[in-house]
């Protein structure tokens, strides 16, 4: 069972609530004795499935993994690092996941991590996303069914991450040992030029305020605030998840369903500005500093999980801003440290 070392997270402790971490222990809170026994059965079964899969996959050097149909943050924080680790071990991977993530599925030299890809089309605009519990449209479910059938008929080790109990309660926490994760530096693959630039992800949330993400921002105003300090300010992300903005002066809007565009902008830039969303983790793969913006007062819901999983992958810290002034002050402070 994973135990959190809060001393490691001390720098950020004022921004989160300690008891919110979704460790294996957390899952049994509030259960009666029968619920706890049932939960224990789920945990033991999950561990058995994962350990059996991992042992066979690394021995046979071939496996089936998927389907991943969930949130971008889950892909970057829990799935891509594990796939990269399997690739490092020389495992031939048959993977079912979203086609739009393909640009991430390469090593530091641009070689594919995946031996056979069972791609799922982009359905971001059609259904709400939730960890890896997302219910895709019917045609996508059919493609997932084809993958699962091929995996079972192959006789090869198959980790079915659509099993939510196994995925949520066990798999994510089991990975926290370093030997089970790896991060490839994508800057070697996608960096196209050296420039003094910044990337902003304009997350679309309407006027909603949430404990995870804070209140809404005027992203064009943020771009205008930081634009005097950069030669170029890129506003990017997936169109279905992003606010609609227009380019002006040295501010370029480049929303795209092609993640090559997104990765390239991050690789070329010195700073990523984003709310508490999956884009926070892009800096892991592009070696870019991140400024997490939260329009409101901390604590930030879910931040403890973001931090405890990240610390296994990088020593690079997240920076924080809680107002437009904070954003300006942070960017200005970098002039004296870079």
Q: Give the mean pLDDT of 69-88.
A: 97
Quick one: how far is CA 308 from the chain centroid? 13
Per-residue model confidence (pLDDT) at position 207 = 58
177 vs 163, more confident:
163
Cis peptide before 224 (omega within 30 of 0): no
Work out the pLDDT band at 337, boundaries 50, 70, 90: low
pLDDT digits 0-9 by tens, 18-63: 888 998 888 888 899 999 999 999 999 999 999 999 999 999 999 9
Cβ atoms 131, 70 nearer than 8 A: yes
Stretch (H or E) spanning 147: helix 138-154
Q: Which residue has the tokens 């892009």?
A: 282
Per-residue model confidence (pLDDT) at position 30 = 87
Stretch (H or E) spanning 291: strand 289-293
Stretch (H or E) spanning 34: helix 33-60
Q: How many Å is the maximal CA-CA distance in the chain?
A: 63
Per-residue model confidence (pLDDT) at position 178 = 74
Work out the pLDDT band at 76, boundaries 50, 70, 90: very high
Per-residue model confidence (pLDDT) at position 255 = 95
pLDDT digits 0-9 by tens, 276-312: 999 999 999 999 999 999 999 999 999 999 999 998 8
Per-residue model confidence (pLDDT) at position 206 = 53
Q: Which residue has the tokens 């971008």?
A: 72
Q: What string of DSSP letters covers 221-277?
A: HHHHHHGGG-SEEEE-S-GGGB-----BTTEEE---S-HHHHHHHHHH-SEEEE-SS
Q: Give the mean pLDDT of 106-110.
A: 97
Per-residue model confidence (pLDDT) at position 18 = 87
Q: What percent of the chain has pLDDT over 90?
A: 83
Q: What percent of the chain has pLDDT over 70?
A: 96
Q: Give the mean pLDDT of 178-183.
A: 88
pTM of the model as a whole: 0.94
209 vs 290, more confident:
290
Mean pLDDT rounded to a whole number for the chain: 93
Q: Give the mean pLDDT of 218-239.
A: 97
Q: CA 12, 196, 185 angle in degrees (round to 5)?
A: 60
pLDDT digits 0-9 by tens, 310-320: 988 998 899 99
β-strand partners of 120: 98
Per-residue model confidence (pLDDT) at position 143 = 98
Which of 204-224 are b and which e, b meaning 16 or more Cβ less than 10 Å from the residue's Cβ?
Answer: ebeeeeeeebbebbebbebbe
Cβ atoms 9, 307 nearer than 8 A: yes
Give the Cα separation of 233 and 236 in Å (integer): 10
Residue 338 has pLDDT above 60, yes or no: no
Work out the pLDDT band at 336, boundaries 50, 70, 90: low
């Amino acid at each position: 069972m994973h135990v959190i070392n809060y001393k490691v997270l001390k720098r950020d402790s004022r921004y989160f609530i300690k008891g919110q971490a979704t460790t294996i222990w957390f899952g049994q809170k509030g259960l009666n004795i029968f619920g706890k026994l049932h939960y224990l059965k789920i945990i033991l079964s999950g561990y058995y499935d994962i350990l059996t899969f991992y042992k066979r996959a690394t021995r046979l050097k071939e496996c089936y993994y998927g389907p991943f149909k969930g949130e971008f943050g889950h892909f970057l924080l829990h799935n891509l690092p594990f796939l990269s680790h399997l690739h490092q071990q020389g495992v031939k991977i048959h993977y079912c996941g979203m086609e739009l993530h393909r640009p991430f599925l390469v090593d530091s030299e641009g070689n594919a991590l995946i031996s056979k890809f069972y791609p799922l089309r982009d359905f971001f605009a059609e259904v709400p996303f939730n960890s890896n519990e997302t219910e895709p449209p019917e045609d996508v479910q059919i493609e997932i069914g084809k993958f699962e059938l091929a995996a079972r008929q192959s006789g090869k080790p198959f980790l079915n991450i659509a099993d939510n109990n196994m995925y949520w309660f066990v798999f994510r926490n089991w990975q926290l040992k370093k030997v089970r994760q790896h991060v490839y530096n994508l800057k070697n693959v996608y960096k196209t030029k050296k420039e003094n630039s910044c990337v902003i992800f304009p997350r679309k949330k309407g006027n909603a305020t949430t404990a995870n993400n804070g209140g809404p921002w005027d992203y064009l105003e943020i771009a205008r605030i930081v634009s005097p300090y950069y030669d170029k300010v890129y506003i990017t992300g997936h169109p279905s998840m992003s606010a609609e903005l227009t380019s002006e002066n040295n501010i370029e809007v480049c929303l795209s369903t092609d993640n090559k565009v997104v990765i390239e902008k991050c690789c070329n830039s010195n700073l990523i500005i984003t709310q508490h969303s999956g884009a926070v983790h892009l800096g892991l793969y592009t070696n870019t500093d991140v400024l997490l913006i939260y329009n409101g007062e901390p604590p930030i819901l879910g931040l403890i999980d973001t931090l405890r999983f990240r610390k296994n992958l990088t020593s690079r810290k997240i920076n924080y801003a809680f107002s437009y002034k904070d954003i300006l002050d942070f960017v200005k402070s970098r002039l004296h440290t870079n």
